[in-house]
Structure 1
Amino acid sequence: MKQERPHLDFLQRFSVVASWLGGVIVLASAIAISFDVLTRNILGKTYLQSFELSQYGFAISVAFGLSAGVVGRDHIRIDVLANVIPKNLRRILHFISIFSLVIISALLAYFAVELTIDSYNRGARSPTSLRLHTWIPQAVWALGLCIFAMVSVWTLIKSVKSLVRKDHKSCDLLIGFQGSNEN
């Protein structure tokens, strides 16, 4: 039996939309790579510089997909161990998990923004024939990581609020397993 999740707010809904955008980027990269492979084999040259663009696209799509992983509770857990420990201890471990995710996501976002600003200030360009300003894809990547950090923080805040209200079910639905074993 599937449990109802607490109402998803704007930031959480946006993270799901952002993950779909990441999927579109991966699909576009696959099409561009296929086109370049065909033109290289048939005409002897490439036109889209798909290798460089797909690298940027992959980093961006992963960054945007991370926040959807928080909303969907898709991050890796050790189910075998978690299923045999008491619910209260399990809930504490879930809090440690989301708190750790907040720290990691905040650090990733901070350093991504710092790298983007540094690349902009130095006027850095890619060492390829495109000579793309590297701050442009880095800014989009950093945006995805900032969304990841915001969704992680917001999920932690909402789960703490649920716990303070003694609404254990909502708390478990925010940061617990996807399965129905959190009752």
Structure 2
Amino acid sequence: MKDTIERWLGIVFGLIFLALSFLVAVETVIRKVFNVSLQGADELGGYSLAVGATIAFSLALMGRSHIRVDVFHDHLPKWLQEVLNWLSVLCLAAFAGLMAYLAWFVVQDSRQYQSVSQTPWATPLVYPQGVWLFGLIMFALVSAGFALRATLLMFSGRRDQLNREFGPRSTKDEVDEELEDLKARSSDAPLSPLSVAASGAQA
């Protein structure tokens, strides 16, 4: 389930910025060749960054990529590491919920006052802000799920697993992940003619 959500979020994230890159390229060409501007690339770029950031929050959480200041973490008693790892997930879930809660009022204000962007497009802000709110709600739900799992691990005595899943990533974890990714990519890559010839010669 986690891998499926992470994969689809990654696809959506990539498509957003692929479309933005195409738009910026088109804008650059027609400005240079025809001296005409679409007058919306900057606006769409801002929306893309806002929405993309909310997706990145969830992706970073599932990949344990959020920054943790762990200078003293490994030198603390094991029981204190467990408590801090548990509290870090709870605090992140609370913060994600707060962001989604406040964003809801921002969207409601834009809808009530019929706010529009200060650009030639005059886009009703309720639409891009609605997508932004949806991304924050997704982040809050993912964070709440992680907080629930961490709490279950904490109070069911599986604290070693709690540290493995929610503790700061060590250098060894990052190296192992890179090696596994490299191994997967190498196994999926087609054999080159030189590799086939070398294999035949060895046979």
TM-score interval for Structure 1 and Structure 2 normalised by the shorter chain: 0.7 to 0.9
CA contact (8 A) 1:155 1:174 kept: no
CA contact (8 A) 1:91 1:172 kept: yes
Name the count of aligned residue pairs. Answer: 172
TM-score scaled to structure 2, two decimals? 0.77
Which structure 2 residues correspond to residues 5-24 of structure 1 after superposition, within 5 A? 8-9=1-2, 13-24=4-15
Q: What's the CA shift for 1:87?
A: 2.0
- Alignment of 1:125 with 2:116, yes or no, is yes
Q: What's the CA shift for 1:112?
A: 1.1
Letter of the 2:34 counterpart: L
Q: For residues 24 and 154 of structure 1, do their structure 2 counterparts lie closer, same or farther at Cα, with a shift above 3 Å needed? A: same
Q: What's the CA shift for 1:20?
A: 3.0
Q: What's the CA shift for 1:15?
A: 4.9
Deviations 1:21-72 (A, max 9, x none): 1232122212211211221122111226111011101100111110121111
Which of 115-124 and 14-23 deviates more? Answer: 14-23
> Which residue of structure 2 aligns with residue 46 of structure 1?
37
CA contact (8 A) 1:36 1:46 kept: yes
Matched residue SS, 2:72? helix
Question: Partners in 1 of 2:10 and 2:111 — Cα distance?
Answer: 26
Hey, which of these two has a bigger chunk of helix by percent?
Answer: 2
Q: Which has the greater radius of gyration?
A: 2
Q: For residues 149 and 15 of structure 1, do their structure 2 counterparts lie closer, same or farther at Cα, with a shift above 3 Å needed? A: farther
> Which residue of structure 2 aligns with residue 26 of structure 1?
17
> Which residue of structure 1 aligns with residue 144 of structure 2?
153
CA contact (8 A) 1:60 1:144 kept: yes
Give the gaps of 5 or more residues in structure 1.
Answer: 1-7
Question: Partners in 2 of 1:147 and 1:50 — Cα distance?
Answer: 26
Give the gaps of 5 or more residues in structure 2.
Answer: 174-203
Question: Partners in 2 of 1:15 and 1:140 — Cα distance?
Answer: 18
Q: Percent identity between the aligned chains?
A: 24
- Which of these residues, 45, 59, 77, is aligned with residue 68 of structure 2? 77
Q: What's the CA shift for 1:16?
A: 4.6
TM-score scaled to structure 1, two decimals? 0.85
Matched residue SS, 1:97? helix
- Alignment of 1:104 with 2:114, yes or no, is no
Letter of the 1:149 counterpart: A
Choose between structure 1 and 2 for higher RCO, CA contacts under 8 A separated by at least 6 residues: 1
Matched residue SS, 2:51? helix
Question: Partners in 2 of 1:149 and 1:15 — Cα distance?
Answer: 15
> Which residue of structure 2 aligns with residue 171 of structure 1?
162
Question: Partners in 1 of 2:39 and 2:160 — Cα distance?
Answer: 50
> Which residue of structure 2 aligns with residue 55 of structure 1?
46
Q: What's the CA shift for 1:94?
A: 1.2
- Alignment of 1:92 with 2:83, yes or no, is yes
Q: What's the CA shift for 1:145?
A: 0.6
